[in-house]
Amino acid sequence: MRSGNWWAGSPGQHRGENYWKFQEEFADFQESKHCIAVVNGTVAIEAALLALGVGLGDEVIVSDYTFVASASAVVATNAVPIFCDIRPDTLVMDVKKVEELITDRTKAIVPVHLGGNPVEMDKLVEIADQYELAIVEDCAHAQGSRFKGKRVGNWGDAGTFSFQASKVLTSGEGGAIICNDDDLADTIYSIIDCGRMKNQYSYAHFVYGTNYRMSEFLAALLRTQLSKFPDQHIRRNEHARYFADKLNEIKGLRTMKPTPGTEELGWYVFPIVFEPEKFNELTKIAFYKKLNRNGIPTDDCYPPLHSLQCFKDINLRKGIDYSMANWGGHKSDDSNFPIVSDIYSRSVEFPQYMLLSEKEKLVKVVDFIASLKE
């Protein structure tokens, strides 16, 4: 703050240093060649899609179990999101259901690594290559997640991250895009910096772009957060395994299963799924209220995208034809998305910071949940 450098400047004329150093450090941490820091995770998805040529009339397949931003970013490009159901065990996109959603309008896929749990990216890449589709990985929950030897965000064409206040790596707001292609990185930079090109005259604007630049101050906060992250990441993974083992001993309850091949998991949230009939017919709302009232921070999971009012009522961009989407009106009925609808009806989640607690506290949570069966 005392430096007075609130703006990062440009690649050829730095006004501050934290923005540029954070991009290098985060790219290094995520084992990627390029990182472009932006104001939030939502516009990170939008900018990556735009850079990959997604636009009017295109369709983009998105996991149905995610925060609205995964789809609203698609809408912002004037494209149409198409919702894909999930696997009941891992709670992430069911790659086996992707191919049936592909049409001649499909341009890209946005797999969402919910709670840090990776989608089966090796299989998804095979499908994308077969149909010549782009992949933008939504890694908002997945800082540090590793799948089959590779950090998430590096499997597709680009990976997008969020540093919003509740994330495991945070600056209050913020986002980033990683990629390994030089030309794509330059295109993304132009889009997020008003159509400028690197090392060109500041008032020359070469393509459509807008101002999605991160501030120098947020980057400084993130550099400090990033320096603490590795130790916390190890602790979260250790405690999550311990917590899951204890919870899964309770009949009628199970935790999110890490996708086979997952080596590290970001653990942004810790979802659990319960069987109401094994818990005295408790509803989901009653279940998490009991936990909250007993000092256990618990929240609802994301409502499936197909159920959100903006999609059910098609209250989105004017002038865009959404009639071919697999949602809207009766198409948004839960029966058309059976797995995610069932999971949402009986799942809650714990915040990631619980996993930094002592194991003794986690055991007390397990004991209280078990008592709800009595």
pLDDT at 374 over 90: no
Amino acid at 276: P
Label residue 231 exposed, middle or buried (CB < 10 Å: 0-12, 13-18, 19+): exposed
How large is the average pLDDT for residues 30-51? 98
Q: Are the C-beta atoms of residues 204 and 197 closer than 8 Å to each other? A: yes
Q: Are the C-beta atoms of residues 211 and 10 closer than 8 Å to each other? A: no
The whole-angstrom separation of Cα 233 and Cα 268 is: 10
How large is the average pLDDT for residues 215-232? 96
Q: What is the pTM of this model?
A: 0.97
Q: Which domains does the chain have, with CATH numbers?
A: 9-225 (3.40.640.10), 229-371 (3.90.1150.10)
| 373 — pLDDT class (breaks 50, 70, 90) | confident
Mean pLDDT, the chain, whole residue set: 96
Q: What is the pLDDT of residue 56?
A: 97
Task: Give the torsion through C-alpha atoms of 275, 281, 285, 291, to 10 deg.
Answer: -80
pLDDT at 301 over 80: yes
pLDDT tens by residue, 121-152: 999 999 999 999 999 999 999 999 999 999 99
Q: Are the C-beta atoms of residues 116 and 232 closer than 8 Å to each other? A: no
How large is the average pLDDT for residues 347-362? 96
Please state, for a pLDDT cut of 70, what percent of the chain lies above it. Answer: 100
Tokens 């240093």, located at residue? 17
pLDDT at 2 over 90: no
Of 215, 180, 222, 214, the closest CA to residue 35 belongs to 180
pLDDT at 12 over 90: no
Of 178, 211, 186, 169, the closest CA to residue 23 belongs to 178
Which region among 15-19, 36-40, 59-63, 92-96 has the lowest average model confidence (pLDDT)?
A: 15-19
Please state, for a pLDDT cut of 90, what percent of the chain lies above it. Answer: 95
| 3 — pLDDT class (breaks 50, 70, 90) | confident
Strand residues in 180-307 grouped as ranges (E): 253-255, 262-264, 269-274, 299-300
